[in-house]
Chain A
Amino acid sequence: MSSRPDELGDDALVVAAQQGERQAFEILVERYKEKAYRIAYDFTRDREEAKDLSQEAFLQAFSHLKGFDRRSSFYTWFYRILVNLCLDYRRRKAKVSWESLEERVEKGEGFANPGPSPVEETMRGEISERIGAALATLPPKQRAVFLLKNHQGLSISEIAGVMKSAEGTIKVHLHRAVIALKQRLAELA
């Protein structure tokens, strides 16, 4: 390699990692860790869980790297792994009984966080807490579509690709999520 490893493009790093150079994959981790973390944080709203989820996504990508055919970019491929993990996380969380969830929302507590510190509370503010609580009440697919659209800025077709659903279905989920959030926030105001 003539150029420095951290200056190489994703494709070259993927090829090197596929040939057994673990350091090449570590550079990919450094390159995308913040983006991955922020996506996971959108889903969890919890720092430690976001870290665990995004790290798990990197590990899964590393384990299956030899099967990655490079027809899409590394980030697109990795993004799908990460979002699927986030969706699984939401499904697990959705098993919490609705009654308990409603109770917490009424109290204005966050969903994933056991309880924010005073500093965090000051920073995030009451409105942010309420939004987090309102987001937590959305069904997993609606929430995922909303986060991918509103937070990640993906197009409808990209979301459909990631979630393996029809574009029409994605539009319906997005519409329902926005209306439900709007209504929930109005109730909490």
Chain B
Amino acid sequence: MSQSNACKDFEQDLVLYHYGDCVGADKQRVESHIEGCDGCRQFLQELKAFLPATLAVDEPPASFWQDYSREMRVKLAAADEKPGWIRSLAALFRPWPVPALAAGAIIAISLTMTINKAPQAPSDPSYTDMASNADFFKSMDLLDSMDLLESVETQMQDTEKSDATAQNL
């Protein structure tokens, strides 16, 4: 193929002109130019010669189209099945939203309570604190007992004093 040299300023417009996309003033400008320019005229002729030849032609046999349609039906059915399955699963739970929510809430509360009531490990430091607190309470009990004894003793002394006073009289 010989290579023509079109004017650079016109090359793009010549391509558009070939395809019929050069209109109005641009079209007139191109047409008046190619009248006096051999290079651009030859360039246009070359486009007309080689561009249609670039079209790919493929004519598959009838069996190809039958396979095409059959495959498409299978693929479309598969694409249609998936959301249908999800829809039917969702529909199964649709009449029971309130009982389902209530059941869920009960399960959640039960689990929370069970976890909170679980026995703590003996190594838990809070156990040591509790043990020391028990000793403290024991000592408190002792003090209470001492107070009680003191008060009994005081009462006895008071009784003895009053008896002595009565004898003196």
Interface residues of A (CB under 8 A from B): 22, 25-26, 29-30, 33-34, 37-38, 41-42, 45, 47, 50-51, 55, 58-59, 62-63, 124, 127-128, 131-132, 135, 149-151, 155-156, 171-172, 174-175, 178-179, 181-183, 185-186, 189
Contact = CB atoms under 8 A, between A and B. Distances in A.
Given A181-B54, A183-B3, A175 B11 contact: yes
Interface in B1-53: 1-3, 11-12, 15-16, 19, 21, 46-47, 50-51, 53
A189 to B, nearest CB: 5
B50 to A, nearest CB: 6
Given A26-B72, A175-B12, 4 more contacts: A41-B58, A47-B58, A59-B79, A151-B55
A36 to B, nearest CB: 10
Contact of B68 (A33, A38, A42, A175): A33
Nearest to A167: B21
A50 B57 CA distance: 13
Interface residues of B, number: 32
B54 A131 contact: yes
Contact of B54 (A22, A37, A150, A171): A150
A34 B58 CA distance: 11
Which 8 pairs show the lowest CB-CB distances between chains A and B?
Answer: A175-B12, A186-B1, A189-B1, A131-B54, A178-B15, A175-B15, A156-B21, A29-B72
A22 B81 CA distance: 11
Nearest to B51: A150
A129 B110 CA distance: 75
Contact of B76 (A22, A42, A185): A22
Interface in B46-93: 46-47, 50-51, 53-58, 60, 64-65, 68-69, 71-73, 75-77, 79-80
A93 to B, nearest CB: 16
Interface of B: 1-3, 11-12, 15-16, 19, 21, 46-47, 50-51, 53-58, 60, 64-65, 68-69, 71-73, 75-77, 79-80
Contact of A59 (B11, B60, B75): B75
A62 B53 CA distance: 35
A33 B60 contact: no
Contacts of B73: 26
Contacts of A127: 53
Contacts of B65: 33-34
Contacts of A181: 50, 54
Nearest to B19: A149
Given A38-B58, A62-B79, A178-B47, A186 B3 contact: yes
